[in-house]
Amino acid sequence: MFKKYCDLLVLIWFRPILFFSRLPQGEWTGESVTFAGVMAWILAGLIAVVVFITQYIPIGGALWEGVLAGKLILVAPVIALLGAMFFFITFIILGGVFLALILGLFYALGALLFWSAKLLGGKGSYHEILKAGNYSSAIMLIFILPILMMIATKRGILDFTNFRIGFNITCSFAVLYLYGLQAIISRKILGLSRPMAFTAALTTAVALAVMFWVVNFAILPKIAPWIM
């Protein structure tokens, strides 16, 4: 199964025209949703690790203070069990949140692309667009970079300004790459010409850019104390 998803990622990232020309068969609620779910759980696992390193370990370190060396043998298993429990709870909560966000985002983008393409003369199945959108969630793995940058910022290797620059660069790349993917989907699934496909995909690119703009200026400043 690991090899299967790795092969899909390689195709979507490096040979998207081939992939969307031969979109896997099946219901849109089947394998494509599972693929989007895998992307969500990967990101959730990495964020959970960040929370564990930046929040739980310092708390655990505070609990160690004042404990006599002879009692460490008794306290260590309890601390380890609590750490594992909090990590698991965090992972489960973040997994559900990321799954809902990714599915919601790509369903919304799929609907926007479908109706934009329809206005330009596109023909095709709405469910096929949703399926293609779920596979497009492979682009979300690019956000592994800012997740790693969170750890570097928390450890003082980067300041928040540099973190924000890196986040904006990542978002810009995601918008541009997804714009290309949506144009390919418009051509291969909805049958638009190349100029019309890029025109239809422009609506989703603008919507995504606006979303990242909101995150950059409205959300990042509020979570800055947690990142720094």
Angle at the Cα of 32 from the Cα atoms of 147 and 13, rounded to 5 degrees: 55
In b/e form, how buried is each residue of 95-106, taking b as 16+ CB within 10 angstroms?
Answer: beebbeebbebb
Q: DSSP assignment of 109-132, as one string? A: HHHHHHHHHHHTT----HHHHHHH
Quick: pLDDT tens for 119-130.
Answer: 888 887 888 888
The H-or-E segment that residue 81 falls in is: helix 72-119
The structural domains of the chain, with segments of one domain joined by +, span 26-227
pTM for this structure?
Answer: 0.84
Decide if pLDDT at 68 tops 60: no
Q: What is the pLDDT of residue 91?
A: 92
Mean pLDDT of 181-195: 89
Task: Give CA–CA dist 102/72, Å, rounded.
Answer: 43
Instruction: Classify residue 189 by its DSSP letter.
Output: T
Examine the pLDDT at 162 and tell me if it is beyond 60: yes
- Of the pLDDT bands very low, low, confident and very high (cuts 50, 70, 90), residue 180 is very high
pLDDT > 60? residue 70: no
- For residue 73, the model assigns a pLDDT of 66
Question: Backbone phi, then psi, for 90, in 5-degree steps?
Answer: -60, -45
